[in-house]
Amino acid sequence: MIIFKATQLTLKDMNVKPETIEETDSFFSWHVNFFTLYGRKHYVFMNDLSRLSLTVNGIRANQASKLAGIFKENLEAYLAVEEISDHLANYYLEKCNEKTITKTDSRSVISTMNDIMLIMKTLEVENNDFRDKDVRHKWNNRSIYKPIDYKEPIDVFVKELQARYEMER
């Protein structure tokens, strides 16, 4: 199950009431917020464990029912760009069939997500290549962050993915 931990504004935008959940697996938990980039609304998803981020446009208000499908489609495309093997990508995506939307619970993740959004807004004017979502995703996921011991989010995500896949084999 995938858990989307949405900010108050995002919950309001999606017109959804948050569910209460007891425990979460941080590898399958994603904080969600939205902001305007290039004059369009974009949702930012950030993985709680690895700080891997995806920036997705095309999600309109009141589309909570389509959120998981749009997210999975974009994550699958990004994992292909990163040349993650199909068996690893499918392993993760198959675990994301059910979704739960709840409130945010980590100031650390929100802070990292706010940093990413600020950087994207700054580069919006300066770097025209940033319009390409694949370039944007690769750049964002190669930034280092203190909460993940100054590692790159893509490396942390792939290492955890490989470890879990091997455990279940």
Q: Which of 48, 46, 69, 49 is CA-nearest to residue 59?
A: 69
120 belongs to a structural domain: yes
135 belongs to a structural domain: yes
* CA neighbours closer than 13 Å in the CB half-sphere of residue 41: 11
Pinpoint the alpha helices (H) of the chain: 8-14, 67-81, 86-94, 107-126, 133-140, 153-168
169 belongs to a structural domain: no
167 belongs to a structural domain: no
Residue 112 in tokens? 């990292």
Give the pLDDT score at 94: 94
Find out whether 18 and 122 touch, Cβ atoms under 8 Å: no
**Residue 109, domain extent:** 2-162
Find out whether 69 and 43 touch, Cβ atoms under 8 Å: no
Query: pTM, whole model, 2 decimals?
Result: 0.94
Give the pLDDT score at 102: 96
103 belongs to a structural domain: yes
The length of the chain, given as a count of residues: 169
pLDDT in 10s for each residue of the chain, 169 residues: 999 999 999 999 888 999 999 888 999 999 999 999 988 899 999 999 999 999 998 787 777 788 889 999 999 999 999 999 999 999 999 999 889 999 999 999 999 999 999 999 988 877 777 788 898 999 999 999 999 999 999 999 999 999 999 988 7
CATH of the domain at 12: 3.30.420
168 belongs to a structural domain: no
Q: Which of 105, 88, 111 is CA-nearest to residue 165?
A: 88
Q: How far apart are CA 112 and CA 85, in angstroms?
A: 27
Give the pLDDT score at 125: 77
Q: Which of 128, 154, 126 is CA-nearest to residue 139?
A: 154
Give the pLDDT score at 65: 80
155 belongs to a structural domain: yes
Total of domains in the chain: 1
